[in-house]
Each structure stands twice: as C-alpha cells, then as structure tokens.
Amino acid sequence: MKDVIILGIESSCDETSCAVVKNGREVLSNVIHSQIKIHEEYGGVVPEIASRCHTEIINQIVKQALKEAQISLETIDAIAVTQGPGLVGALLVGVSYAKALSFATQKPLLAVNHIAGHIAANFLTHQNLEPPFLCLIISGGHTHLVNVKSYHTYEILGKTRDDAIGEAFDKVARVIGLGYPGGPKIDQMANAGSPSIKLPITHLDGFDFTFSGIKTAVINLNHKTPDLDKPDLCASFEKAVTEMLIFNIKKAIQTYPTDKIVLAGGVSRNSYIRNEIDKMANELKIQAYYPEPILCTDNAAMIAGQGYYDYIAGKRADLHLNAVPNLKIGE
C-alpha cells in the first residue's frame, strides 16, 4: 500500500507550525515557531500581534519543514490546515497560505478541527492506539471530556461552563506574579510546595466542569494573605483542579465503560495531572495515554496526523474554505 504523506499547517493562536507526517503515525518533521517571548510582556496573547507574526514567518517555517523531512511539495499527497477553533486573524493566515499552496501545487486541501488534532497527537506517540476511548482535552481554550468513537465520530460528554482549565492556570499565575504562560510556571513552582491549603472543589451534574470558583478563591486568598507560601498555593491549586478532572473521568467511565483514557491539549503536559491520571488508571485497571510533551501544545504534526484520517475518508475542502474561530468538534 502506498504511503500517504500529509503536510500540516497550524496557526490557531501564537505558534506558527508546519509538519510532514506519513500515514498518520510517523512524524517526518515538525517545525514550531513560538511567539511566547513576544507576548510575555503583555501577560497573554495579543491577537493582532499574533497574526502579524504568523504572516512574517509562515513561508520560512513551511520551507524548513519540507527540508527537515527531506521531501518536496511534489511528493506530498495533501495539505491539511487548522480551520478552527482559534483566533480568527491567526487562523486566516494559515488557511490563506494553505489555500494558495493547494492551488499552486494542485494538491487536495483538508480542513482540520484543532481539537480533533489534539486528540490525534496521541496516535503519533502511541502507534497502536485506536478508537474507541474516552479523551480528556485540557488546554488554554478548551476543557472537554469526549467519547471518541472513531477517527471522525465524537460525542462530547462534558465541557467547561466558564474558564478553560488552561485559562484558570494563566489567571492564577498572573495574580501571584508568575507571569505568562502560567501553566508550566505553576507546575514548576508546585514541585517545591505542599498541597496544604484547602480550596473549594465544585462538582456539577453530568460531566461538565467549572473552574471560575476555584480561580476566584485563589485570587481572593492571595489578595487577603499576600505572604501566603506561593509554592503551597500552586500545589494546592493543582491538586484541587486535578481532583475535579478525575471525579468526572471516573463518573464517565461508569456510564461509558472503557479500558483507555487519553489526555490531549497543552495542559496534559502538567506533571501532577499526569501522575494522578496514572494512579487512577492503575486503580481502575485501565491504560492511560498522553502525547509526548512537544505534541501536547499547538503543533502542525497533530494537524497533519488528523488530516491523514480525513484524507483516507475522502474528505476534501475547496478554495472557498474560511476560518471558523468557534468551530465545534465534530463539525
């Protein structure tokens, strides 16, 4: 059977990325240009600046990805690009570039959902992983608990009703003076602390999440007790939000029995969350999966990976493709 080579392009937020993936499982190259240093001084991503940075660098990133993969544009089978969700201006840079490349090379164009891409990142790390499974998607913009029935069929069991978990991490980090991006900095500081501070944990009916209450509690506690031990506060925050995640995972497994729990998204890099998910998996005698760290955050390899499954399923986009900033998974 002929190998299928997909070129992936990702520009949904503040990473400009291009990757080449073979057969949806083997990463031949994955070039990521991060804008973190640029946005740090603003305490978060500035959409207009992100768009301009994508425009300046995207052509260079695509050329570098092809060079590292030791492959030419003529050899690829299709071009996959993130359609959404994300920042509309940032998405438009990637979509416009991919459409122009598709037109110039006469290669098929594939519109990939960013959230589906995060799930597909696991297929790049775990060669034998296949649906069905339960997947917890935790990132700066998303918190979803999804029943992944196939490579294209998703049932959303629960999602956040307010802040995404990564957003809560960033806001807490900013308030206690750690800066942006907050998730990795809280994770690092928590390693030096003890989860000794009691924080409110909220469980909702069904499988939805809410993080605004715990975020506000941490902010208020920090304001009222400015000399509070910051490592302990970080460790306590991590412990509380992880308990909320695991509570819903266990509840979902009772309703949707599975032998696999899969993590995806930038927050799945968090060391404490991974350790606790591993403990839960051992307790329930199921297998836990998560991508290697470089594939957790936004990258084009995951877009090319999902693009492969879209390609072999016969899905195609045309040159009328537009960015959809609020695109839902499964659409």
Q: What is the predicted pLDDT for the residue at 331? A: 62
Q: Is the CB of residue 178 less than 8 Å from the CB of residue 170?
A: no
CA 112, CA 305: separation in Å to the nearest integer?
10
Query: Phi and psi dihedrals of 4, rounded to 5?
Result: -110, 120
Residue 139 one-letter amino acid: S
| Separation between Cα atoms, residue 80 and residue 94, nearest integer Å | 10
The per-residue pLDDT for 182 is: 84
Query: What string of pLDDT tens digits covers the 331 residues of the chain?
Result: 799 999 999 999 889 999 999 999 999 999 999 887 788 777 778 888 989 999 999 999 999 999 999 999 999 999 999 999 999 999 999 999 999 999 999 999 999 999 999 999 999 999 999 999 999 999 988 899 999 999 999 999 999 999 899 999 998 998 888 887 888 899 999 999 999 999 989 899 899 999 999 989 998 998 888 788 999 999 999 999 999 999 999 999 999 999 999 999 999 999 999 999 999 999 999 999 999 999 999 999 999 999 999 999 999 999 999 999 999 986 6
Dihedral sign for Cα atoms in the order 91, 92, 97, 98: positive
Distance CA 288, CA 297 (A): 18
Do 318 and 81 form a contact (C-beta atoms < 8 A)? no
Structure pTM? 0.94
CA dihedral 294, 119, 182, 161 (to 10 degrees): 180
